[in-house]
Amino acid sequence: MKTLLAIVDADLKRMLFPESVLDKLRAITEIEWWDAAGQSFDSAGLSRIIGGYDACLTSWGSPFFTDEALASASKLSYIGHAAGSATAVVNENAFVKGIAVVTANKMLAKSTAEAAVALMMAGAWNLQGYSRRLQSGGWSYNNGETVPGLSGRTIGLIGLGEISRNVIALLKGFPVDIKLSSRFCTEEEAKALGVRLCSLEEVLSTSSIVSLHSSLTPSTVGMIGARELALIPDDALFVNTARARIVDESALMNELKTGRFHAALDVYHQEPLPADHPLLQMEHVLCVPHIGGFAGKYKTALADFVIDGLAQFLQEQTPDGQVTLEDFGRMTANALA
C-alpha cells in the first residue's frame, strides 16, 4: 500500500508529522511526500499523480479532489483530512466512488469547544474590560462591583454538532441552564444531553449568553439577521466561534454600535481583520484572531487521528471520523467559507 502526503508547508509538516507519527504511518503503509512527486501543488498536479496511490492524507491548503482527480484515482480507497470540514478537499463524487473519507473534525471540535467556553468566561467576567482598566492605572471596586459570571445563567446554543456537544460537556461543571436550537436534534437526544430543545427565537430572547455553532451552508448564510439580533436581551453576550457569514454583518455592526449587548468573536467576514476595523475599537467586544482550533493537545493530533483511521480501515473497521454523504451535506461548504 502506498500513501501520498499532500502537504508541502514546512511548518504544517513539522506540527502534524513528528517522527513518532511518521513511524506510526510507515508501520502500515509506504509513504511519499508530495515534494517527491515533482508536480505543481494544485488539483491539476493531483490529477497527474494520484493514480499511483492507495491513500492520501491532506490538511489545510491541500489540493482539491476535482472530478478529474477522482477519475484518475484508480487505486485510491482512503482520504484522511488532517483538518476540519471535508468540503475543503472533496465533493460528493468521492462518496459515490466509494472512497472512505475521514476527517479530524472531532479533534478540532474539542479545541473549538474549549475556545467557545473560554470566550463565554472572558465575556461573563469582563476580563478585557478589567485588563484595560488596569493598564490605564485603574483597579477594581470591591465594595460595589460584580460580574455576571457563568453560574446561574441561561446559555443558548445554536446548532448541534461535534463542537456544541463538547461545549455541553464542558459546561456540565457549571450550574447553568442550557437551551439548544437545532433542526437535527430530537427531543430524546436533547434529554440525553441534558439540554432543553427550543426554537431559535426562544434561545435568542431568553439566553444571557448566546453561542453560535451552526455550520455554514447555503441555508445558514445570514441566518442571524437584524430580526434575530434584536431578540438578544440587553447586556447579554453573543459568542461566535463558527463562521462569520452565518450572521448578517451590517445587522451585527448596527447592534454592536449601540452597545446594547456584548460580543466575543473569533471569526470575521474579512480575515485577517484589519487593524483599523471598528470592532477593535468597541470596549464591549472581545476579538481574537480565529484561534478556535489552536489547543495544542488536539491540533497536533490531527494527523495521528486520521492515521488511526487508516489503520482501522485496513482492518476493515469503520474508521473513527469517517464522513457519510449525509454528514457531508451538513458541513461548512468550501465555496462559502
pLDDT interval class at 112 (50, 70, 90): very high
The domain segmentation of the chain, as residue ranges, is: 2-104+301-330, 108-287
- Please tell me the number of Cα atoms within 13 Å of 251 on its side-chain side: 16
> What does the longest C-alpha to C-alpha distance in the chain come to?
72
> pLDDT above 70 covers what percent of the chain?
99
- According to CATH, the topology of domain 108-287 is Rossmann fold (3.40.50)
Three cell numbers, residue 312 = 482501522
Per-residue pLDDT, 274 = 96
pLDDT score, position 233:
98
For residue 337, the model assigns a pLDDT of 56
The kind and range of the H/E element at 265 are strand 262-265
In the DSSP assignment, the letter for residue 319 is P
> What number is the average pLDDT over the span 278-284?
96
Asked if residue 34 lies in contact with residue 5, where contact means CB atoms within 8 angstroms, the answer is: yes
Using H for helix, E for strand and C for coil, what is the string for 186-243? Answer: CHHHHHHHCCEECCHHHHHHHCCEEEECCCCCCCCCCCECHHHHCCCCCCCEEEECCC
Average pLDDT (265-280) is 97
Peptide bond preceding 272 in cis form (omega within 30 of 0): yes
User: Sign of the CA dihedral 185, 187, 188, 190?
Assistant: positive
Domain boundaries 2-104+301-330, CATH class:
alpha beta
100-118 mean pLDDT: 97
Look at residue 332 in the predicted model and tell me its pLDDT.
Answer: 82
pLDDT at 335: 57
Is there a shared CATH topology between the 2-104+301-330 domain and the 108-287 domain? yes
In the prediction, which pLDDT does 330 show? 84
Interval 63-93: pLDDT, tens: 999 999 999 999 999 999 999 999 999 999 9
Per-residue pLDDT tens over the stretch 119-161 = 999 999 999 999 999 999 999 999 999 999 999 999 999 999 9
For position 336, what pLDDT does the model report?
58
Res. 98: pLDDT tops 90 = yes
pLDDT exceeds cutoff 90 at 36: no
Distance CA 37, CA 123 (A): 49
- What average pLDDT does the structure give for the chain? 96
Please write the tens of the pLDDT for every residue from 153-202.
999 999 999 999 999 999 999 999 999 999 999 999 999 999 999 999 99
- Provide, for the chain, the percentages of residues in helix, strand and coil under a 3-state DSSP scheme, each rounded to the nearest 5: 40, 15, 45
What local confidence, expressed as pLDDT, does residue 243 receive? 96
